[in-house]
Structure 1
Amino acid sequence: MPDTARITGSAYRRVLLKISGEALMGDQGYGLHPPTVERIAREVRTVAQMGVEVCMVIGGGNIFRGLQGSAQGMERTTADYMGMLATVMNALAMQAALEKLGQFCRVQSAIPMDQVCEPYIRRRAVRHLEKGRVVIFAAGTGNPYFTTDTAATLRASEMGCGAIFMGKNGTDGVYDRDPALHDDAVRYDRVSYDEVLRKNLRVMDASAIALARDNKLPIVVFSLDAPGGFRSILAGEGTATVVGG
């Protein structure tokens, strides 16, 4: 199989894009904003057209977040399963947007629901990617007490991805403090896994960072706000922070 990603100028042949559920809300306070979903789908479609194999994990916080339900008195395991179902809804919305643009896509869920999407099967997912399909991994790891950050790192490791790309809203990388609250916040160009954990820089949760470190999997944090940002970062342009080493 030719290394098409090198031909098109990307340093990566296969990547995982992780975005939050809130990224799909647009300016709304809840749910899905179809124009925003379509805009992100166009970003993914553009990268797939470069020859890069793309898989995705999308959070569910725009619909239901397990930790919030637990904090309000709901039993944690039930709340987490509800959060996993929210990620399936987001994955199906993204699949619909991608297919509307002509991009073949599959959703694989860690919780079997055969009438809605495929079950997660690693070898089948790899085959989809090899055929140029975008694969969206839904329902987290299928287990409570694990976030979609951990699911993203796990799936990226299983798929043999070259990096995890963390698409953020309102920030173009990792800062030493919240840039929205501190004018003197300093952005890192590169930062180590251990420093992220030590300084609690909130790139991902601690379990996800530790798993990425153990598998030597870089995490590239960039802004989803600018059109073409995902493609630019893959082409070695734009502004981002690389977590690794």
Structure 2
Amino acid sequence: MDRAQADYMGMLATVMNGLALHDAMRSAGMASRVQSALNIEQVVEPYIRAKAIRYLEQGRTVIFSGGTGNPFFTTDTAAALRGAEIGAEIVLKATKVDGIYSADPKKDPLAIRYDRISFDEAIAQNLAVMDATAFALCRDQKLPINVFSIFKKGALQRVTMGEHEGTLVYC
């Protein structure tokens, strides 16, 4: 399949995931809004930076979907970009592993999990938990990243409450 076409399909999938997350939050009594970099206003709001910031100031959760709206950019880069745009304190990356390792822990039983690692170290070691563009953007904006497992019970709550979980990538 053409790479750009595949990327657009992936962006649409993130919109569907955003809608599912929005519904789960609504069911839990949380106020949230879904914004998309793709123009599909019948389904979600368009991404408008000032509006997203206003929602956050009102105590709502903003779910950014649709990636950057451009092919060839990952959702990691979109998260870094949106985090920088709204003045976020940190980017939270919920993933399949419980942090950043020196090697793939499924392939290398001697892989070491880092509690903390600098952006420069992560980039130099080519640690593949996020793409280099996202790492570089966060580094340049002095925006830390916390990588943790979405499958670990209570991890998301602990991270959002400021507790240590996973790996912190810092400047």
In the alignment, which residue of structure 2 is the partner of 1:76? 3
Matching residue of 2:146? 220
User: What is residue 196 of structure 1 aligned with on the other side?
Assistant: 122
Q: After TM superposition, give the deviation of residue 234 of structure 1 in Å.
A: 4.0
Change (3 A) 1:239 1:110: closer
Q: Corresponding residue for 2:105?
A: 179
2:77 alignment partner AA: T
- For residues 237 and 108 of structure 1, do their structure 2 counterparts lie closer, same or farther at Cα, with a shift above 3 Å needed? closer
What's the TM-score, normalizing by structure 2? 0.93
Which residue of the partner structure matches residue 241 of structure 1?
167
**SS at 1:82 equivalent:** helix
- Show structure 2 runs of 5+ residues with no match: none
Letter in 1 for 2:153: P
1:131 CA displacement:
1.1
Structure 1: 5+ residue runs without aligned partners? 1-73
Aligned-residue offset at 1:88: 0.8
Q: C-alpha displacement at 1:236, in angstroms?
A: 4.6
The equivalences for 1:50-129 within 5 A come to 74-129=1-56
2:89 aligned partner, one-letter code = G
Equivalent pairs: percent with the same residue?
53
**1:18-33 counterparts in 2 under 5 A?**
none
Contact 1:196 1:203 in 2 (8 A): no
The farther-off stretch of 210-219 and 180-189 is 180-189
Q: Which residue number in structure 2 is paired with residue 59 of structure 1?
A: none
Equivalent residue, structure 2, for 1:168:
95
The 2-side partners of 1:226 and 1:121 are apart by: 33
Distance, in Å, in 1 between the alignment partners of 2:118 and 2:152 is 26
* Equivalent residue number for residue 136 of structure 1: 63
Residues 164 and 218, structure 1, Cα contact 8 Å, conserved in 2: yes
Structural RMSD (CA): 1.4
* Structure 1 residues 231 and 148: CA distance shift in structure 2, 3 A: same
Please give the alpha-carbon distance, in whole angstroms, between the structure 1 residues aligned to 2:10 and 2:109. 34
